[in-house]
Structure 1
Amino acid sequence: MAIQSRIAIVTGGNKGIGLAIVKNLALQYPSSPLRSGPLTIYLTARSAERGNAAVETLLSDPALQKAKVLSRDGGDSEIKFRELDISSEESIKKFGEFVEKEHSDGIDVVVNNAGIALDGFNLDVVKQTLHTNYHGTLLVSQTLLPLIRPGGRLVNIASMAGHLSKYSKDIQKSFLSAADTSIDACTALMDKFTADVAAGKEKEEGWTSAAYAASKAGEIAFSKVLAREWEGKGVLVNACCPGYVKTDMTKGNGAKSVDEGARTPVMLALAELNGKAGGFWQSEKEIKW
């Protein structure tokens, strides 16, 4: 196989699990079957100030320095910042245009880590959460998937909060049916959740009163649809739960470190998967959704 540079993108990469994913992509790329020439990792974030600061943090990271995996130390990987707000269609469009222009021969890995978890539960929280976690992640996926070369990966960071065991049997069936049908069917289910919350009958209809959980269930569902659509083109799409990680999102209450939380996403991005796609993964294993 001809030597070519590899391109990876991590959304929400300025802190927590996202930052750890960027770091561990650089650490594990040298032993990855995807290795072929230098790797450029785009750490994306909404804030240029925080994003650039995160890159500087990684450049001085002891583990990266010791392993000598960064290009400035003679290694394969270079980490760059690029602004991306997944709650903004304009930002996603602008980022997609940049990637297509800058890397016209394609990219290799996208890890959709960006997301929000708001306090409380009401219609406004539901709309904001779905707008970012569901619609934003979906639009990033649909924007970047056409740019991923055969053999590439798209990894969506979901959560056990989106596990179907949290819903009524009817809602479980609806999710499974949507995942087997189309993106439109998945989106219609998110619209139903919003309408049921607006009517004050989400519990009666079999939902949980948790916007984040519903958004992540929707993300797992559309990941399965995308996996079918792109598997024939040689791109593997999977969703995963990083585990209960000690981050700002869990208010520091997690049981795992950020590096432990990065293990499954990085495995899905770089390891030999033997063609597995459309799965929901946790602790480096595919689990039943």
Structure 2
Amino acid sequence: MAVQSRVAAVTGANKGIGLAIVRQLALQYPSSPFKSGPFLIYLTARSPERGAEAVNTLNNDAQLKQAKVLAQDGGDTTVKYHALDISDHKSIHAFRDFLKEEHPDGIDFAINNAGVALDGFDSTVVKTTLATNYYGTLEASNAFLPLIRNGGRLVNVSSTAGRLNKYSDEIRNAFLSASKTSIPAVTALMQRFQTAVDEGREQKAGFPSAAYATSKAGETAYTKALAMEETKRDRGVLVNACCPGYVDTDMTKGRGRKTPDQGAMTPVMLALHDIGGKTGEFWMSEQITEW
């Protein structure tokens, strides 16, 4: 097997923003400061059929062919599918072990894009949403981060739906404090939300009746806590959260105003480009924004 100089993993990448992130990584790698020889991107998704179809779509993509960025067209980049379901511990650990074995020197970029947005609001919807968007992405982050080489990047695709202006002052301050304290402090807030929903008193407790938004507030908060912990290791690994914007995808039921490629711009910038060493920030439209 040819030695890959750079390796990336993208979760939830068979369609929408995830697929566009893989496309843009391939397109932007040649002009990136990270460019150094062959680039391998793992496009991950739950379904092998949809994953294979997505790789095939990219291999036949007119813009990628014209830019000659893929290895099959004489470029640097190869895209491979790998199974990953971030709501399943075994699946996360299997992918982590595969990466360790396949790339003992480590990987360079991990972009956690996988997520769910379910209709309705009740205890079960909250539990299912948190299982993927909060606990699943957190577990994937913890699995990938030790594999990322010095100077690499971890990017979590969160959302401005998770901004803190929807909460009581007490809960808002609790989020801000937890993000500067530890991941367990953030997880305790998520548990507090779930309990309040189970008891039908989330609004009285200072939370909105919104599963997706609260899961994304948690994701942004723990990304900040994770960045703080990673900084202590002094490896130069940058950890950031971002919002892709309101993108026209299945998740927004086609109502978004941005194209998936426009939505991919901020996450790809945070992975591939010079961001001045910034870590633990929340970004939107290629700049740091208020959480």
TM-score by length of 1: 0.98
Give, in whole Å, the separation in 1 of the partners of 2:91 and 2:43.
15
- Pick from 254, 267, 277: which aligns with 1:275? 277
Over residues 133-155 of structure 1, what are the superposed CA-to-partner deviations in whole Å (9 max), with x where a residue is unaligned? 00000000000100000110000
1:157 aligns with 2:153: no
1:177 aligned partner: 177
Q: Any residues of structure 2 matched to 1:224-243 within 5 Å, and which?
A: 224-231=224-231, 232-243=234-245
Aligned letter for 2:282? Answer: F
2:266 aligned partner: 264
Give, in whole Å, the separation in 1 of the partners of 2:82 and 2:229.
28
Equivalent pair of 2:51/2:82 in contact (CA under 8 Å): yes
Equivalent pair of 1:8/1:41 in contact (CA under 8 Å): yes
Give, in whole Å, the separation in 1 of the partners of 2:140 and 2:4.
24
Aligned residues: 287
1:60 aligned partner: 60
1:118 aligned partner: 118
2:138 aligned partner: 138
Over residues 197-222 of structure 1, what are the superposed CA-to-partner deviations in whole Å (9 max), with x where a residue is unaligned? 01111011111111000100000000
Equivalent pair of 1:18/1:113 in contact (CA under 8 Å): yes
Aligned letter for 1:91? Answer: S
Unmatched segments (≥5 aa) in structure 1: none
Give, in whole Å, the separation in 1 of the partners of 2:163 and 2:112.
18
Equivalent pair of 2:4/2:40 in contact (CA under 8 Å): no
Q: By how many angstroms is 1:166 displaced? A: 1.5
Give, in whole Å, the separation in 2 of the partners of 1:166 and 1:98.
40
Unmatched segments (≥5 aa) in structure 2: none
Over residues 230-262 of structure 1, what are the superposed CA-to-partner deviations in whole Å (9 max), with x where a residue is unaligned? 132211000000000000000000000000000
Equivalent pair of 1:4/1:36 in contact (CA under 8 Å): no
SS in 1 for 2:40: strand
2:214 aligned partner: 214
1:76 aligns with 2:43: no
Identity of aligned residues (%): 62
1:248 aligned partner: 250
Give, in whole Å, the separation in 2 of the partners of 1:175 and 1:229.
17
TM-score by length of 2: 0.97
Q: By how many angstroms is 1:71 displaced? A: 0.5
Give, in whole Å, the separation in 2 of the partners of 1:197 and 1:214.
12
Aligned letter for 2:259? Answer: S
Q: By how many angstroms is 1:4 displaced? A: 6.3
1:24 aligns with 2:12: no
SS in 1 for 2:220: helix
Q: By how many angstroms is 1:168 displaced? A: 1.3
